[in-house]
Amino acid sequence: MSSPTPKQQKTFAAIRITGGFAAAIVLGYSFVANVLAGQPVEGPVLLTGVMAFVGLGYAAYYTRSLSRIAAADKDAAKP
C-alpha cells in the first residue's frame, strides 16, 4: 500500500484540525456554562474541561503536522 499524497495528507490534517477545534469549542462552552451555573469544578465538569484542552492539543499537533507537510512540499517544488 502506497503512502498518501501530500494533498491527501494536507486534507486529512485540515479535517483533524477542524475536528479538534470544534470539540474544544463545544466542550469549552459546556465547561464554562456549567461553572457559571454554579457547578463545582470536580468530577464530570472537570473532565469536560480537561477534554477541551485535549481537543486543543489534538488540533495543535495536526497544525504542526500540516506545517511540516507544507514545508516539505514547498522544498520539493523548488528547482
Mean pLDDT of 1-15: 89
- What's the pLDDT tens digit per position in 28-62? 999 999 999 999 999 999 999 999 999 999 999 99
Q: Residue 77 has what pLDDT? A: 79
Distance CA 34, CA 2 (A): 47
Q: Residue 60 has what pLDDT? A: 95
- pLDDT-derived band at 78, boundaries 50, 70, 90: confident
